[in-house]
Amino acid sequence: MLANYLKLALAVLRRRKFFTFVSLFGISFTLAVLLVVTALLDSIVNGYPPETNLERTLGVRDMVMMSPDGKNTWQGPAGYGLLDKYVRTLPSAEKVSILSAEAYWVAAYKNGSKFDVGFKYTDGEFWQILDFQFLEGAAFTADDEKNANFVAVISKSLRERYFGEANAVGKTIEIDGQRFRVVGVVPDVPVYRFTPFADIWVPISTSKSTTYKNELMGGFQAIILAKNAGDFPAIKAEFREALKHAQFPDPKEYNQLYGGADTVLESIARMMFQAPEFDTHVERLVAIFFTLMLLFMLLPAINLVNLNVSRIMERASEIGVRKAFGASRVTLVGQFVTENLVLTLCGGLIGFILSIAVLHFLNTVQIIPYGKGDFHINGRIFFYGMCIITFFGLFSGVYPAWKMSRLNPVQALKGGV
Amino acid sequence: MIQLEHIEKVYRTDSLETVALSNINVAVQQGEFVSIMGPSGSGKSTLLNMLGLLDEPTAGTIALHGKPLQSFRDKELAQVRNREIGFIFQSFHLISDLRVVDNVEIPLLYRKGLSGSERRKLALEALDAVGLTSRTKHFPTQLSGGQQQRVAIARAIVGKPSLLLADEPTGNLDSAMSEEIMSILHELNQKRGTTIAMVTHDERLATQTDRTIRIFDGRQVQ
Ligand SMILES: Nc1ncnc2c1ncn2[C@@H]1O[C@H](COP(=O)(O)OP(=O)(O)OP(=O)(O)O)[C@@H](O)[C@H]1O
Ligand SMILES: [Mg+2]
């Protein structure tokens, strides 16, 4: 039966070229956009080098500090003092690294030209949690950080800027009025990998001032490596507990802290819904994302439903004939849904090809700094794509098919609906 | 085989009420060849649709092998139409997206246990029976009216139904072709024992059948 459905579906689609074209266009365009967006999100949220340990990593990023009466809130990145005191000490954490909340853009000069350099403070553990492949040299260590050694790891692009084709290790580099000795060179990190991204990484202790050391809020984040994701709940609970007992320099000014050890997705949710709570409402973020996807799919889906319904008229006599010769309602629904699925799958195939082309383009032109060659359709995204397409095919096919199958055969034969 | 009692069919629209059939009592016996005659618009096609379990009457009862139509569920009804009934429609109703041979295969699609090659073989046999072996790969629009008529006949007989309902099966054919079709119908009736109900305007054809039901303005006159 299925083979027949397929054969018929292809015959119908071939014969109704305009309908097929319009439908395919709508479906493939929609899917291509969704796939490109998904691929971009996937490459942020899921673990690609150097974030290969992402599935067992949590981050402490934005926090909320609040006054006793709840009227004053301070929202933003955590401070070094807080992270040092309450995150580094978490019993269930395997490793903790503290680093700048984001890369600062500092001006650098070379041969009289000025350019911006992504600059990040970090520590020795950073290089152990993240999986950088060193092109030359090695990472700086916890001792470098402890002793405030003026050492730096730089990106491949920065090395080219300063030293051309030559090696950089052992040479010095001047950034923002400070001179650092290069100890290692790593490949470029795309700018949207906000945790690892920078052009130059230096020990936190080389900072010009030391006031950061005791601050609860401002300028830093921590990443926590767990033995495995199974330890996440324990780490989260320990951190929450620690925050509840946090000590404040002036409890009359601020005496409450909210935040959490979050996965990437949870961090994004926390930033979006900044609320003085422990919960991140990540499910809200996911719901919003799926709603947007649905809304985006809705238009072409409704369009296809509409086309399909209006074609009931055109195909009324066919339906009458099939019923007269023994097609049951279920069989007819099966036939029309299959037809629609074949159509949407063809559209999906084109959509896949389109999205691969778009991603290839994004990969080559490097619109996003250092985002070169970083986007692809992997098995996971292919799976999402197939889900979207199947949903689309069923959504736009079932209602018209159901309507078709309920036609009175005599009326249908006369071409009326 | 099939029994219609006190059948009434009324078409209602907002402003109009058309009585297509009123108080029709017809019983077609197994193996009979019945003709239905009457002027245009008298309700012949409507009656044929009732006999084919394709339409529901406004009032009255239809029973197939003694079982009332109302007692069939959609799936059973579909099965009955598929196995027992073959339709030749007044205006052919071939599916324009399908080739001739695929059109003829339609009734077999809804029958379980037939392979693709078996279906193809039966369809070609049916087309052979109506003398259309050379047009099997054409689309319906590429055929003449008479050829389309014959495809419609092939489709109706391919499933070897026990009841064949023919709405002016010779309406578009010249007299030689008409004779040929009539001989096919007679052969089905005599050799296979197929029960046939045929609408016709042609008295000569009607006289070749076992009996004639005459309708005038929705009423049975004989
Ligand atoms: N869907 C409908 N709505 C309203 N009236 C209808 C409908 N179908 C049929 N009729 C009416 O029912 C009556 C019988 O129609 P039917 O098609 O059975 O006639 P017929 O005897 O087959 O005519 P012909 O010889 O021209 O084919 C006609 O008066 C027709 O106008
Ligand atoms: Mg008629």
> Tens digit of pLDDT for each residue in B5-29?
999 999 888 888 889 999 999 999 9
Does A86 lie in the same domain as A228? yes
Same domain for A323 and A190, yes or no, is no
Contacts of B75 in chain A (CB under 8 A): 328-330
pLDDT of residue A286: 87
| Contact between A408 and B55 using a beta-carbon 8 Å cutoff | yes
Given a contact cutoff of 8 angstroms between Cβ atoms, the answer to whether A413 and B55 are in contact is no
Beta strands B2-12 and B17-28, pairing class? antiparallel
Atom index in ligand 1 nearest the CA of residue B42 equals: 21
CA of B41 to the centre of ligand 2 (A): 7
Asked if A145 and A250 sit in the same domain, the reply is yes
Together in a domain, A364 and A334: yes
Q: Each residue of A299-338: pLDDT tens digit?
A: 888 888 888 888 777 788 888 999 999 999 998 898 888 8
- Examine residue A268 and state whether it is found in any structural domain, yes or no: no
Is the model more confident about B154 or about A359?
A: B154
Residue pair A57/A51 in contact (Cβ under 8 Å)? The answer is yes
* Listed residue (A367, A380, A381) closest to A190, CA to CA: A367
Any domain includes A275: no
Please indicate, yes or no, whether residues A378 and A308 belong to a single structural domain of this protein. yes
Nearest C-alpha to atom 2 of ligand 1 is from which residue?
B11
- Look at ligand 1, atom 14, and give the residue with the nearest C-alpha: B43
Q: Are residues A26 and A136 in the same domain?
A: no
Contact criterion met (CB below 8 Å) for B213 and B220: yes
A212 and A75 in a common domain: yes
Cβ neighbors of B84 (< 8 A, separation 6 or more) are B64, B161, B162, B163
Indicate yes or no: CB of A8 within 8 angstroms of CB of B82.
no
Per-residue pLDDT at A372: 57
In sequence order, what are the beta bridge partners of B119?
none
Domain co-membership, A139 together with A256: yes
Question: Are A71 and A196 in a shared domain?
Answer: yes
Instruction: Tell me which residues have their CB closer than 6 angstroms to ligand 1.
Output: B 11, 18, 20, 38, 40-46, 90
Q: Are residues A40 and A72 in the same domain?
A: no
* Cα–Cα distance for residue pair A24/A29, rounded to 1 Å: 8
Q: Which residues from A are below 8 Å from B110, CB to CB? A: 322, 325-328, 331
Residue A217 lies in a domain: yes
Distance B135 CA to ligand 2 centre (A): 27
Query: Does A342 fall in a domain?
Result: yes
Domain assignment present for residue A383? The answer is: yes
**How far is the CA of B185 from the CAs of B28, B31, B143, B175, in angstroms?**
16, 12, 22, 15
Same domain (yes/no): A113, A223: yes
- Per-residue pLDDT of A219-246, as tens digits, reads 999 999 999 999 999 999 999 999 999 9
Flag the least confident range among A108-112, A217-221, B8-12, B213-217.
A108-112
Of A208, A228, A261, the residue that ends a domain is A261
Highest mean pLDDT range out of A62-71, A144-153, A396-405?
A144-153
Instruction: Determine the Cα–Cα distance for residues A154 and A169; give it in Å rounded to an integer.
Output: 9
This complex has an ipTM of 0.93
Percent above pLDDT 90 for chain A: 45
On the CB side of A254, how many CA atoms lie within 13 Å of its CA? 20
Residues of B in contact with A15 (CB under 8 A): 96-97
Q: Is the peptide bond before B161 cis (omega within 30 degrees of 0)?
A: no
Largest CA distance in chain B: 52
Q: Report residue A88's pLDDT band, with 50, 70 and 90 as the boundaries.
A: very high
Q: How many angstroms from the chain centroid is the CA of residue B172?
A: 16
State which of B13, B14, B16, B18 you would mutate to test the pocket of ligand 1, scoring each by most atoms of that ligand within 8 A of its C-beta. Answer: B18
H or E element that contains A60: strand A57-60
CB atoms under 10 Å from CB of B113, counted, come to 5
Residue A55 domain flag: no
Please judge whether B75 and A317 are an interchain contact, meaning their C-beta atoms are less than 8 angstroms apart: no
Lowest mean pLDDT among A4-8, A379-383, B93-97: A4-8
- What integer is the mean pLDDT of B205-220? 93
Q: What is the mean pLDDT of residues A188-194?
A: 85
pLDDT for A416 equals: 62
Taking CA atoms, what residue in B is nearest to A17? B97
* Whole-number average pLDDT of chain A: 88
**Mean pLDDT to the nearest integer, A2-6:** 75
Flag whether the pTM goes above 0.90: no
First CA to last CA distance, chain B: 20
Q: Which tokens in the block code for residue B8?
A: 């009434």
Q: If you measure CA to CA, which chain A residue comes closest to B109?
A: A1
Vertex A159: Cα angle to A154 and A165 (nearest 5): 150
* pLDDT of the residue at A206: 95
| Predicted local distance difference test score (pLDDT) of residue A279 | 80
Asked, for residue A279, whether it belongs to a domain, the answer is no
In whole angstroms, how far apart are CA B10 and each of A186, B57, B58?
85, 8, 6
Tokens of B90: 């007044």
Work out the number of other CB atoms within 10 angstroms of the CB of residue A247.
9
- Tell me if A13 is assigned to some domain: yes
Burial class (CB in 10 A: 0-12, 13-18, 19+), B186: middle
- Looking at residue A277, the DSSP 8-state letter turns out to be S
Residue A114 has φ and ψ, to the nearest 5°, of: -110, 140
Total domain count for chain A? Answer: 2
User: Which of B9, B12, B45 for a ligand 1 pocket mutation test, highest count of atoms within 8 Å of Cβ?
Assistant: B45
Which of B28, B17, B5 is closest to B212 using CA atoms?
A: B28
For the stretch A142-185, pLDDT in tens is: 999 999 999 999 999 999 989 988 999 999 999 888 999 999 99
Does B87 sit within 8 Å of A328, measured CB to CB? Answer: no
**Is the pLDDT score of B126 beyond 90?**
yes
Identify the pLDDT of residue A374. 67
Q: Whose CA is nearest to atom 25 of ligand 1?
A: B40
- The residue among A261, A296, A311 that closes a domain is A261
State the DSSP code for A217.
Answer: B
Asked if pLDDT for residue A371 goes beyond 60, the answer is no
What phi, psi does A207 have (nearest 5°)? Answer: -55, 145
Q: Where residue B102 falls among pLDDT bands split at 50, 70, 90? A: very high
What residue numbers bound the domain in which A289 lies? 2-47+284-413
* pLDDT at residue A369 is higher than 90: no
The whole-angstrom separation of Cα A373 and Cα A403 is: 48
Show which of A261, A296, A312 is a domain's final residue. A261
pLDDT digits (tens, 9 = 90+) for B28-65: 999 999 999 999 999 999 999 999 999 889 999 999 98
HEC readout, chain B: CEEEEEEEEEEECCCCEEEEEEEEEEEECCCCEEEEECCCCCCHHHHHHHHCCCCCCCEEEEEECCEEHHHCCHHHHHHHHHHHEEEECCCCCCCCCCCHHHHHHHHHHCCCCCCHHHHHHHHHHHHHHCCCHHHCCCCHHHCCHHHHHHHHHHHHHCCCCCEEEEECCCCCCCHHHHHHHHHHHHHHHHHHCCEEEEECCCHHHHHCCCEEEEEECCEECC
A34 and A100 belong to one structural domain: no
Q: Which residue has the tokens 């030749």?
A: B88
Listed residue (A314, A294, A319, A339) closest to A409, CA to CA: A319
What is the whole-number distance in angstroms between the Cα of residue B43 and the centre of ligand 1? 6
Q: Answer whether A322 sits within 8 Å of B49, measured CB to CB.
A: no
